[in-house]
Amino acid sequence: MKRGRAMAQTAVDVKGGGAKMKKICIEEHWRNPEVGEMGDRWRERTRVPLANDPKATPHVFPRIGDFEKFRLPLMEEYGIAMQVLASNSPGIQAAEDAASAVGGKKVQ
Beta strands at 23-30 and 20-21: parallel, antiparallel or unpaired: unpaired
- Cα–Cα distance between 61 and 74 in angstroms, integer? 16
Environment class of 95 (CB within 10 Å of its CB; exposed 0-12, middle 13-18, buried 19+)? buried
- Burial-class residue 38 by CB neighbours within 10 Å (0-12, 13-18, 19+): buried
Burial class (CB in 10 A: 0-12, 13-18, 19+), 108: exposed
**What pLDDT shows up at residue 1?**
37
Over the chain (108 residues), the average pLDDT of each successive run of 10 is: 43 66 88 85 88 82 87 91 87 82 62
Q: Minimal CA–CA distance to 76: which of 68, 66, 84? A: 68
Q: Note the pLDDT of residue 31.
A: 85
Strand partners, 104: none
The pLDDT of residue 5: 42
